[in-house]
Structure 1
């Protein structure tokens, strides 16, 4: 019998499949910036636990206000003190970690009152944090990977126009967009924005919302809500969880429950992207990401 000749294309096929899996691999996102005792941005990235870090927050903008960072005790943005994180951002990115600037937060002074304000903010973000140029870049010359929408105030209008305006810059350099809606559907602030289909990552906050979160050993409400979210226009969907009971008012999922009951169920979704943790300080205290990273 003649020897069987294997096509080089067939030999490449398993490699291509593995590369595709890696490129769409699940990961852990974390919020950093709201506790001066959580360590530096470099410390967070050097754990090797996170694939995404959201710098939180740009908490003042819109309504004629000058946009303003608030990184708690880490630095004073009014004296250009936050430029010290430029090299740390670059170091995180060199390790394959996407670093995004998060807009909003639970307490801030922010709003968008018109499409024009949305366009102005997009231009500001592009020039001061992304691929554009400005003499007043609050985080120095580091070029962030994208913008996160953690909008919990300021109404529900014009966030879609902000997303569209930011996405317009992707013809020059890809601007990744993420959003952190609450788990009740529709989200009070980000519904129209998410419906644009422009968000690469949507990390839903499955906490502080009893109707759609884990509670007292019961995963049903959480899973039911997750299944509803899989029908959204999010490209990838992340399960947002608190890192400890201290990190949120309710909705904490013990790590063993997450890994044995929740993740095996939700990972069957084609949109599953991973887990988002609030926040770096509490994760450092509890070791939550260490406990779950092998299962994400």
Structure 2
């Protein structure tokens, strides 16, 4: 629950977009080493675009044509060209760019790659320099947008410096054909399952061989709503008795296909007095602790340590908290393995709180209908699951702790990076060994800005067993929402526009929750009053109470809220739990 990863990410971003600060001494240079620098052939080649890049006649910087492309919330939409260069030489890269956030850069230099960016509706000239390594004979120059910032343009790209001795081969890689036969196989009042046929033309690699498909992107009304690796997708949290139009695009390593022909789908009517067909019973196949959680729930962290918040035994947690995450499990000497024991400081503060009393208190909460899970990590957590062995150790140790103490599942709150592949492997193993286990995550905001961010990638990887992801909408500063806008923490817009990113990436509304501090003392920044949390919930669920950002869809099965922590809430007379739980009861 700290700012450490935010600061590190900001520093990395500054390095990414800042370019090199001191150009080296220029050598004798050709006029321009870039092929078709102004896109005047009217075609993309020899440029290659990972997204739906194209050449346009609309308002070029100079001449008749310019490049145009559009970044999405999950892809910067890079267009690039390989250029032959001389080893140990100096080069200057420049060009004209336009758009909310456009980057010009170079990779493969053999030294320090550079980049530079500009922002604005008019054309801006940007320049960066680099030197090639002792064995570098080609570099890749590129132009791209930035996540969620939308359309950008580029024109008159120039690379000056000594020409290389050979011309890089032109790539023959192609994108796939469009998927076909898109249609719906099932609808409810709040969801539609879309299926399609994979394109017979999967595209080609640079050698001309058939390229494998990497996945699909699903669009509702032209707006991306999710991704899939197979040929089906369920779009949840949509309105009853409403017609929607769906298209699908296939992707390979080169880029995305055109979108398919549209399929029209109409959701069914909501049942009288019902909840709009929500999936509020959670995951876990209908059995186990996950299936016993309410449709809308309040999660809180119980602190197994003292830090100025009120210390309290687990049995003192009020029933307004449906799900209690015990913070935190710690690492062992075995990579990936975790352990848990009552902190001696807390035991002293409570007059001698033993492991036996703690275990008895878990049983007490169970008798009240509350569930208790073990949270792994926290601000100082150093657990690393980075291969199959550590994944197996993590799963085995969590399963053992569940059996020993009676935990109903596990929460992942690792704030120093995760490996989506192997953590996903571990969590699937826990779900298989403990059917119906509650599996939750509490990522920092920066970890879920796109579907390729580590935590959101993990969430999508374990969507079949994930109960809820409660993103920490605090200690964040300003961030891009799903519409590309920049929103400041501590507002309804910040919460709803960033929750929208997870929903559009493909998580079910019933798997998305709002994480906030319980009091002004609980976090460094981002505290919001319970009324802001309640407005955010109603905005997502029904489109009311929104700020300037209004989601394009309603998500009546939005899962609920989380706070850090129950102890800080106790210090404030449980003002947070009382207010938010009352609002959760009013949701559809």
1:99 equivalent in alignment to 2:363: no
Give matches, 1:72-111, under 5 Å. Answer: 72=343, 73-75=345-347, 81-111=354-384
Displacement of 1:280 in angstroms is 1.1
Name the structure, 1 or 2, with higher relative contact order (CA <8 Å, separation 6+). 1
Displacement of 1:22 in angstroms is 7.9
Q: Note closer, same or farther for the CA distance 1:226–1:62 as it changes in structure 2 (3 Å cut).
A: farther
Pairing partner for 2:433 from 163, 166, 169: 169
Cα distance in 1 for residues equivalent to 2:516 and 2:503: 17
Largest Rg, 1 or 2: 2
Pairing partner for 1:284 from 548, 567, 570: 570
Q: CA RMSD in A?
A: 3.0
Displacement of 1:127 in angstroms is 2.3
Structure 1 or 2: larger helix share? 1
For structure 2, which runs of at least 5 residues remain unmatched after alignment? 1-270, 282-293, 482-486, 543-554
Q: Note closer, same or farther for the CA distance 1:147–1:105 as it changes in structure 2 (3 Å cut).
A: same
Give matches, 1:118-197, under 5 Å. Answer: 118-130=391-403, 137=404, 139=405, 143-157=406-420, 158-170=422-434, 173-184=435-446, 185-186=449-450, 189-196=454-461, 197=463
Aligned to 2:128: none
Aligned to 1:238: 513
1:211 equivalent in alignment to 2:478: yes
Deviations 1:166-221 (A, max 9, x none): 12114xx4212111112232485423321121211111111111224985874323
Deviations 1:108-153 (A, max 9, x none): 23212311111122112212323xxxxxx4x3xxx22111111112
Displacement of 1:265 in angstroms is 0.2
1:59 equivalent in alignment to 2:59: no
User: Would you say the 8 A contact 2:311–2:346 is kept in 1?
Assistant: no
Q: Note closer, same or farther for the CA distance 1:74–1:249 as it changes in structure 2 (3 Å cut).
A: same
1:262 equivalent in alignment to 2:536: yes
Cα distance in 1 for residues equivalent to 2:423 and 2:377: 11
User: Would you say the 8 A contact 1:149–1:178 is kept in 2?
Assistant: yes
Aligned to 1:50: 321
User: Would you say the 8 A contact 1:103–1:151 is kept in 2?
Assistant: yes
User: Would you say the 8 A contact 1:59–1:105 is kept in 2?
Assistant: no
TM-score, normalization: structure 1?
A: 0.78
Aligned to 1:294: 582
Instruction: State the secondary structure of the residue aligned to 2:346.
Output: coil
Displacement of 1:273 in angstroms is 0.7
Deviations 1:7-53 (A, max 9, x none): xxxxxx87987998985521110000244443110001xx2211000
Instruction: State the secondary structure of the residue aligned to 1:110.
Output: coil
Instruction: State the secondary structure of the residue aligned to 1:53.
Output: strand
Instruction: State the secondary structure of the residue aligned to 2:443.
Output: coil
Cα distance in 2 for residues equivalent to 1:22 and 1:116: 34
1:220 equivalent in alignment to 2:493: yes
User: Would you say the 8 A contact 2:384–2:390 is kept in 1?
Assistant: no
Instruction: State the secondary structure of the residue aligned to 1:277.
Output: strand
Cα distance in 2 for residues equivalent to 1:86 and 1:264: 37
Instruction: State the secondary structure of the residue aligned to 2:396.
Output: helix
Q: Note closer, same or farther for the CA distance 1:104–1:189 as it changes in structure 2 (3 Å cut).
A: farther
Cα distance in 2 for residues equivalent to 1:156 and 1:239: 23
User: Would you say the 8 A contact 2:490–2:526 is kept in 1?
Assistant: no
Displacement of 1:65 in angstroms is 7.5
Instruction: State the secondary structure of the residue aligned to 2:445.
Output: coil
Aligned to 1:3: none
